[in-house]
Amino acid sequence: MQKFIPSLLVAAITVSLSACMQSEKQDKKVVINKNPYPSTYQVLPSQTVLIKNATVLTGTGERIDNADVLMSNGKIEQVGQGLTANNAVEVDGSGKWITPGVIDVHSHLGVYPSPSAESHSDGNEATQPNTSEVWAEHSIWPQDPGFQAARAGGVTTLQILPGSANLFGGRGVTLRNVPSHTMQGMKFPEAPYGLKMACGENPKRVYGGRKISPSTRMGNMAGYRMAWSEATEYKRAWDKYETDYAAGKNPEAPSRDIELDTLKGVLDGEILIHNHCYKAEEMAMMIDLGKEFNYHSGTFHHAIEGYKIADKLAENGNCAAMWPDWWGFKMEAYDMVQENVAIVDSKPNSCAVVHSDSGTTIQRLNQEAGKVMYRANENGFDIKPEQAITWITLNSAKSLGLADKTGSLETGKNADVVLWNQNPFSVYAKAEQVFVDGSKVYDRFDEKYQAKSDFMLGQK
Amino acid sequence: MKLFKSSLIALALTSCASFAHAESIAITNATVHTVTEQGILTNATVVIDNGVITAINPKSINTDSTIDAMGKILTPGLIGSMNTLGLVEVSAVSRTRDAGDKKADITFDASTAFNPKSAAVAYSRKGGITTNIVTPRGGEKMFKGQAFIADLSGEYDSIVETNTAVIVDIGAKSKGSRALTIQNLRNKLEDRQKALAKAEKKQAEVKDDKKKEVKEPKRDEKVLNALLAGEKPLIAYADRATDLLALIKLKQDFKLDLVIVNAGDAISVAGQLASAKVPVIISTVDNLPSFDALHQSLESAAKLINSGVTVAFKVNGDTHNLYQLRFDAGLAIANGVSKEQALAAVTANVADAFNYDAGRIAVGKKADLVLWSADPFELSTHVEKMWIDGVEHSTESRHDSLRNRYTTESDMPRAYTK
């Protein structure tokens, strides 16, 4: 709060002075560049591709048997039976399944890469409880071999988040899972930023251990509220600057604060909340916190107890990103149920997502979703593959604010496509071909399409 | 919420209480994966009595009860290893953790801390695990203590065997050099070997009638003696090929019963492991590189088996996910391991690595059995019935109670739904 007061004063003085000088010449308007590290991603070389006679799960809840998928110019051109196309590379999909590219909303690839090394441990700026000023994209090592492994598992889009040591961990970034030697070369064009927040045990353990706040859950809540209240004033100051400038006045711009820029981005609806939050009572409070400060509480990550408040999550439009079965490693992960995702999914207007938070399980999100489907069906549910696939495709895209671009096989959407050797919810399922924006980025049977990171090159 | 009502009734009907006594049971019409030279028996009958398999395909059946398996697959109970089941309830809650102690040494036996009532024990039964080889984390010393064997009955008599094997951690270190660990291990074995030879010589020199009371070895010396006699396996965590070769050399020099765990770079020295007859216990999901394991891949298990290495599987990471051992075996199958080999890797091969007589379906063997709804490795299947020591056990855990509570309609707060 302290650091903000002088700029408010300055603003107040400027305003009162400028009020009596209406005709004053305006200084150049101060505009903050919201995209200073822009994507340089280029779609890889592609051809028109027609995959024939496969079982297609569209990602919209639909299943089409013996269907074809036509991709051209990086987009899904058509999905249906008996399609033809001129000059298309035809792929026989008989006995195989096609799904949208898999999306992981929670990954630390690149910021906690392999090999695990102190020098590359760049995912948690655990130096103060609010580090909204850090951006995960500035930590990404694009040579993490984990990106290639995830691609072999059908992952075409993934959000890289900072860790959960802090109340506000910083910005997350969404990447295309294409090989590049720069972060910008992977950055998903026009994807909104995410802001990582964390509830519960982690922040209070990290800072409580240092005898600074937060050391309790009430300390966590106080930390969020003080930050949002400061951000609200920051936003007000900038909004006033904008209004005054637009009115022909010559106001002085508030001093820039990189930390508050991110929080203001949330209040402006431009940055989406991604909140590490396991427990029902905490998620319920985080929903109210969003209402208190006029932002949407976004996606709850890990959401072990999502099933306890499934109604509330759906009513408030929160996505919940969950594991099928991780539990027991912390008190807040003790009440796991294997049907969690299914219960959250069962409510109208819900948004259930299966995530990985792991360089290992990101390679098999299809099977992670499968585990949920089968366990739920053993216990009274009737979930079909066409529904379960939404947990790792369209719902994930919604969570990332990208549902208009990817996550389903609909005409005009990005051609992010996976061809599986069989039903993707089998333990024996493997991705055979993976397409990002219509370009083949992985082929299990063609080494030409198997990228290798610099790190692995030439290792004996 | 009509959806859930029928399932609740079904649950109530199928949930089977543990019987106090092991009655005699005939499981008929089963597809029995014996994990022996007998291979797979179809339409087979397995008779269990008093905790033991007493007959396979007998001429007549005279048992307390008969269960028609309707052609479904019966396997040995799966065996977990290299985890801290029963020693940790919640990993981040210090007062529920008993797997390690700063002062733990080669004699550390954590079996007295094993809690059969841990939620993780019941949960692991969902994965068809009937037995677990529990391995303590130890402390600051190179030796992490000794493994013990527990069954997953959830009863207070779960401990099957203690002081089963010695655990040692070799390889990359955050501080210091790996060389010193190998050197210390070699020195300890060499010193003990010399001391034993000296004692033997001294013993031989004295005349029979004057034989002095032999000084009893210390507790830790006894453990080393057992290693040198090949009576107790040495279970070594190691990854890099150079460490695996150093361990093979130790095995040869001291005639150790050596088992290597993780063995990330094993495929680089698969031939040497096979000819030295060193089994490995690996996780099938580990395919991301570390500097000690640059070449591990999802195909590692298949490559090792094809090179003649005996392979057992363990679950990587947190003990709470032990139940997914069968899925990890399924992943190995998807990447080139045969179903028979994969089943052996989660049953007989684990037992063999710890010199424990289990993990096979044959007359005289322990009646630890699982009847599966279909393919034991598939995500879509589940345990239909399981027996530990011939006693049927449920796969229910508190996770099911929580699910039922939150999927049952009620006007009252959930706390009243029990």
Contact A338 B403 (CB under 8 A): yes
Q: If DSSP codes are grouped into helix, strand and coil, which group holds residue A405?
A: coil
Q: Which domains does chain A have, with CATH numbers?
A: 101-408 (3.20.20.140)
B222 touches chain A (CB under 8 A): no
DSSP state of A363: G
Q: Is the pLDDT of residue A11 over 70?
A: no
Our measurement of the distance from residue A345's CA atom to the centroid of its chain's CA atoms, rounded to an integer in Å, reads 19
User: Whole-angstrom Cα distance, residue A433 to residue A321?
Assistant: 26
Q: Does A308 touch chain B (CB under 8 A)?
A: yes
Q: Give the contacts of A250 (CB within 8 A, at least 6 positions apart).
A: A18, A21, A24, A25, A26, A27
Q: Which residues pair with A440 in a beta bridge?
A: A435
Q: Select from B356, B374, B407 the last residue of a domain.
A: B356
* pTM of this structure: 0.94
Cβ contact (<8 Å) for A343 and B406?
yes
pLDDT at B203: 81
Is B361 contained in some domain? Answer: no
Can you tell me the distance from the alpha carbon of A336 to that of A375, in angstroms, rounded to the nearest whole number?
A: 13
> Which residues does residue A158 pair with via DSSP β-bridges, in sequence order?
A104, A175
Q: Is residue B373 part of a domain?
A: no
CB pair distance less than 8 Å for B380 and A326: no
List % helix, strand, coil for chain A (3-state, nearest 5): 30, 20, 45
A328 touches chain B (CB under 8 A): yes
Residues B25 and B133 in one domain: no
Is the CB of B327 less than 8 angstroms away from the CB of A338?
Answer: no
Return all residues near B160 (Cβ < 8 A) that are at least 6 apart.
B131, B148, B149, B150, B151, B356
- Asked whether residue B56 falls in the same domain as residue B88, the answer is no
- CB-CB neighbors (< 8 A) of A107 in chain B: none
Q: Give the range of the structural domain holding residue B16, as residue numbers without chain letter.
A: 2-75+393-416
Residue B24 lies in a domain: yes
Number of structural domains chain B divides into? 2
Q: Is B42 exposed, middle or buried (0-12, 13-18, 19+ CB in 10 A)?
A: exposed
CB contact under 8 Å between B406 and A307, yes or no, is: yes
- Per residue in A173-200, pLDDT (tens digit) is 999 999 999 999 999 999 999 999 999 9
In this structure, are B104 and B32 located in the same domain? no
Which residues are CB-contacts of A162 (< 8 A; sequence separation ≥ 6)?
A111, A123, A124, A125, A131, A134, A136, A139, A169, A170, A171, A172, A196
Residue of B nearest to A425 (CA): B379
Judge if B52 and B112 occupy the same domain. Answer: no
**DSSP structure class, residue B290:** B
Residues B65 and B98 in one domain: no
**Residue B379 falls within a domain, yes or no?**
no
> Is there a contact between A303 and A337 (Cβ–Cβ < 8 Å)?
no
Residues of chain A neighbouring B11 (CB-CB closer than 8 A):
379
C-alpha neighbours within 13 Å on the C-beta side of residue A89: 10
Q: How far apart are CA A149 and CA B335, in angstroms?
A: 14
Among residues B340, B356, B372, which one ends one of the domains? B356
**CB–CB of A299/A274 below 8 Å?**
yes
Size of interface A-B (CB pairs under 8 A): 123
Give ipTM to 2 decimals.
Answer: 0.93
Query: Which residues of chain B are modeled with pLDDT < 50?
Result: 1-20
Identify the closest residue of chain B to A327 by CA–CA distance.
B320
Give the residue from chain A lying closest to B373, CA to CA: A378
Closest CA to B47 of B70, B23, B71: B23
A117, A329, A371: residue with CB nearest B320: A329
B356, B381, B403: which is the final residue of a domain? B356
In chain B, residues 106-125 whose CB comes closer than 8 Å to chain A: 119-120
Cα–Cα distances (Å) from B219 to B108, B111, B164, B187, B216, in that order, read 10, 17, 15, 18, 9
* Whether B379 and A370 lie within 8 Å, measured CB to CB: yes
pLDDT value, residue B318: 83
**Which DSSP helix (H) or strand (E) runs through A40?**
none
Q: What is the pLDDT of residues A336-369, one digit of tens each?
A: 999 999 999 999 999 999 999 999 999 999 999 9
Domain contains B153: yes
Question: Which chain B residue shows the shortest CA-CA distance from A337?
Answer: B399
Partner B, chain A 331-390, Cβ-Cβ below 8 Å: 331, 334-339, 343, 359-360, 363-364, 367, 370-371, 374, 378-382
The B residues from 303 to 332 touching A (CB cutoff 8 Å) are: 316, 318-321, 323-324, 327, 330-331
Same-domain check for residues B398 and B312: no
Is there a single domain that holds both residue B136 and residue B268? Answer: yes
CATH of residue B46: 2.30.40
Whether residue B149 contacts residue B134, with contact meaning beta carbons closer than 8 Å, is answered with yes
Q: Where is average pLDDT lowest: A222-226, A287-291, A453-457, B209-213?
A: B209-213
Sequence-ordered list of residues with C-beta below 8 angstroms from that of B298, at least 6 positions apart, any chain: B284, B285, B287, B331, B332, B334, B335
Contact (CB<8Å) B6/A380: yes
In a domain, B99, yes or no: yes
Of A5-9, A159-163, A189-193, which range is least confident?
A5-9
For every residue of B19-65, DSSP letters joined together read: PSS---EEEEEEEEE-SSTT-EEEEEEEEEETTEEEEES-SS---SE
CB atoms within 10 A of CB A404: 13
B167 and B246 fall within a common domain = yes
Q: What are the respective helix, strand and coil percentages of chain B, to the nearest 5?
A: 35, 25, 40
DSSP letter for B126, please.
T
Looking at chain A, which residue has its C-alpha nearest residue B316?
A360
Whether residue A77 has pLDDT greater than 50: yes
Chain B CB within 8 Å of residue A454 CB: no
CA-to-CA distance for B406 and A307, rounded, in angstroms? Answer: 7
For residues B148 and B232, membership in a common domain is answered with yes
pLDDT attached to residue B207: 67
Angle CA A110–A199–A272, to nearest 5: 60
Tell whether B35 and B145 lie within a shared domain: no
Residue B367 lies in a domain: no
- The answer for A 108-167 residues in CB contact with B (under 8 A) is 114-117, 145-146, 149
pLDDT for the residue B32: 98
Instruction: Note whether B228 and B121 are same-domain residues.
Output: yes
Q: What chain A residue is nearest to B292 in terms of C-alpha separation? A: A115
**Nearest CB neighbour to A328, from listed B295, B318, B407:** B318
Taking CA–CA distances from B329, the nearest residue in chain A reads A427
Tell me what pLDDT residue B16 has.
42
Q: Which of residues 220-259 of A touch B (CB under 8 A)?
A: none
Same domain? For B298 and B334 the reply is yes
Q: Is residue B377 part of a domain?
A: no
User: Is pLDDT of A4 > 70?
Assistant: no
Rounded to the nearest integer, the mean pLDDT of chain A is 95
